[in-house]
Amino acid sequence: MNIYVINGPNINLLGTREPEIYGHETLDSISKECINLGSKDGHDVKFMQSNYEGELVEWIQDAINKKIDAIVINAAAYTHSSIAIHDALKSFPGFKIELHISNPHLRETFRHISFISPAVDAVVAGLGADGYSHVIELLADLQKSYK
């Protein structure tokens, strides 16, 4: 299974940005853990992060062109504003998971609306940085059940 993990704006600041909400783990440590977890099951996990909406859209389109099996997306603030990312995800035929480190429904009301949720198969929120590794394990289990 080939998996893209796409991260949006400010996720590169994990470990220092509001650790009371997002924890102390860095994106680099989360990435390494997920890549290692995936490789144990023979999966290729590619981590990406950008502060630019168009780049996230291009990565989703790249996933379509390369026939990637699954996308895990933490669109961060673009979750609440990007119709472009929504539309790109709707075009992706593989499995799609929206991921949030915190639970947006327990935060400011503007974070309660997701333009991403209607375009994905599942949403994982509020598990902290561990949510990433749980999702990679989930995708490995899903693939095993479909063999």
Planar angle of CA 12, 16, 18, nearest 5 degrees: 100
Rounded CA gap, 33 and 130, in Å? 10
Task: List the catalytic residue out of 4, 43, 100, 132.
Answer: 100
Is 100 tagged catalytic?
Answer: yes
**CB atoms closer than 10 angstroms to residue 72:** 26
User: Would residue 134 show up in a list of annotated catalytic residues for this protein?
Assistant: no
Bridge-based pairing of strands 70-74 and 122-125 is unpaired
Neighbours of 31 (CB within 10 A): 18
Residue type, 122: A
Catalytic residue, from 22, 43, 86, 132: name it. 22
Active site residues: 22, 100
